[in-house]
Amino acid sequence: MAYQYDDQNVFAKILRGEIPNDTVLETEHSLAFRDIRPQAPLHVLVIPKGPYVTFDHFAQEASEAEIVDYVRAVGQVCSMEGVAVDGWRLIANAGQNGVQEVPHLHVHILGGRVLGRMLERA
Ligand code: AMP
Please report the pLDDT score of residue 121 as a whole number: 73
CB atoms within 10 A of CB 51: 17
Within 8 A by CB and 6+ apart from 11, the residues are 45, 47, 102, 104, 106
Residue 36 CA to ligand 1 center (angstroms) comes to: 6
**Atom of ligand 1 lying closest to residue 106 CA:** 3
Residues with CB under 6 A from ligand 1: 10, 19, 21, 35-37, 45, 93, 99-102
- Residue 109, classed as helix, strand or coil, is strand
Give the C-alpha distances (Å, rounded to integers) separating 35 from 59, 99, 105, 118, 121: 23, 16, 14, 19, 23
Catalytic residue among 29, 57, 104, 106: 106
CATH superfamily, domain 12-111, is HIT-like (3.30.428.10)
Domain ranges in the chain?
A: 12-111
Please report the pLDDT score of residue 122 as a whole number: 62
**Is there a catalytic annotation at residue 29?**
no
Query: pLDDT tens-digit profile of 65-105?
Result: 999 999 999 999 999 999 999 999 999 999 999 999 999 99
Please report the pLDDT score of residue 120 as a whole number: 79
Name which residue leads in pLDDT, 67 or 120: 67
Query: pLDDT tens-digit profile of 24-62?
Result: 999 999 999 999 999 999 999 999 999 999 999 999 999
Identity of residue 105:
L
**Atom of ligand 1 lying closest to residue 93 CA:** 3
